[in-house]
Amino acid sequence: MGKRVLLIEDEANIATAVGFLLARDGWDVRTHADGADALEVIAEARPNLLILDMLLPGRSGLDILRCLRARTATHALPVLMLTARGAAADRALAETSGVTEFMAKPFSNAQMLASVRALAAP
């Protein structure tokens, strides 16, 4: 089983930084920046882990997450949701939508690596 992560993040500087960090940790990283076709990209990429921004152009991360949880093929896919909106209400909404882990921006490299490694652990 490979270490494939799909990062759906529309802020280019965050996508670049996280992509570099994870690639250096041995992950095969694919990035995407639009929510409109995210479900198709996820189906094609078949990642072991999804890092999903909550606020995306085209379709929200929460809507994408709800669709993933409704599908048999992606029901158990680990999803780390990133958001600049770290309020308790946002966290609760993500959790009721089926998120595996929630991380508010800004986050440290160590925090990102620890979360990704924990979510990928068998």
List, in sequence order, every residue forming a beta bridge with 111; answer none if it has no partner. none
pLDDT tens by residue, the chain, 122 residues: 479 999 999 999 999 999 999 999 999 999 999 999 999 999 999 999 999 999 999 999 999 999 999 999 999 999 999 998 778 899 999 999 999 999 999 999 999 999 999 999 87
Query: CATH number for the domain including 110?
Result: 3.40.50.2300
Q: How many domains does the chain have?
A: 1
Tell me the pTM. 0.96
Enclosing domain of residue 53 = 4-120
Residue pair 76/100 in contact (Cβ under 8 Å)? The answer is no
